[in-house]
Structure 1
C-alpha cells in the first residue's frame, strides 16, 4: 500500500504544474534546470515583484528563454500572495 501511495505522489508531480508565485523551494526544484540557487533567486524575485506571466522568469538571473520553453507546460502563474 505504501508503495502504491508513493507511486501516486510521484505521478502527480509529473502531471501537475508548478505555480511560480506560490511554490516553495522544493516545488520549484522539480522543474528541469532549477537547483537550489535558482529556486532561491525565483523566490527572492517574487517577493519584490509578483510574476504576471511565465516570460517574466527571464528577469531572474540564470533563467532564459530555453529554460522557459522546456518547462512551459509545467509552469503556471497563480495569484500573488504578497
Structure 2
C-alpha cells in the first residue's frame, strides 16, 4: 500500500498543469511549444494574425496556410483566443523529440 502511495505521489509530481497558448497574443516561440507547430507554421500564424486581426475562435487557426483539420484536432485543447500564454516549456525526451502532454481544455 505504501508503494502505491509513493508511486501515485511521484506520478502527480511529474504531471504539470499547462495553460493554453493564446493564439492571439503568443509569440512565434510560444506557438512552437504546440504539437505539430514548428518555426514555419508559428511564423505563418503570427503573419496571418498581423494581416487579418485576432482569431475569433480556435477553429479559425485552420485559415492559416499549412494548418488543416488534422493539425487543429491535435492542438485544439491546447490553444485559446483569450487569456494569457504561459512561457514556452517544451518538454523533450532524451532523443530531442517533443513529449506528449495531457491537454487542458480551455476555450
TM-score tier, shorter chain, comes to 0.7 to 0.9
SS of corresponding position for 2:75: helix
RMSD: 1.9
How many residues are treated as equivalent by the alignment?
69
Candidates 17, 25, 44, aligned match of 1:41: 44
Candidates 45, 57, 64, aligned match of 2:61: 57
Q: Which runs of 4+ in 1 moved over 3 A?
A: none
Q: Deviations over 1:46-67 (max 9, x none)?
A: 0112100111111111001111
The structural deviation recorded for 1:27 is 0.8
The structural deviation recorded for 1:70 is 1.1
Q: Which of the pair has the greater relative contact order for Cα pairs under 8 Å at 6+ separation?
A: 1
Q: Deviations over 1:5-63 (max 9, x none)?
A: xxxxxx35xx2100000001111001100000100000000011210011111111100
Query: What TM-score do you get using the length of structure 1 for normalisation?
Result: 0.75
- Point out where structure 2 has 5 or more consecutive residues left out of the alignment: 1-15, 84-107
Larger proportion of helix = 1
Q: 1:1-82 to 2 correspondence within 5 Å?
A: 11-12=16-17, 15-49=18-52, 50-78=54-82
- Point out where structure 1 has 5 or more consecutive residues left out of the alignment: 1-10
Aligned to 2:96: none
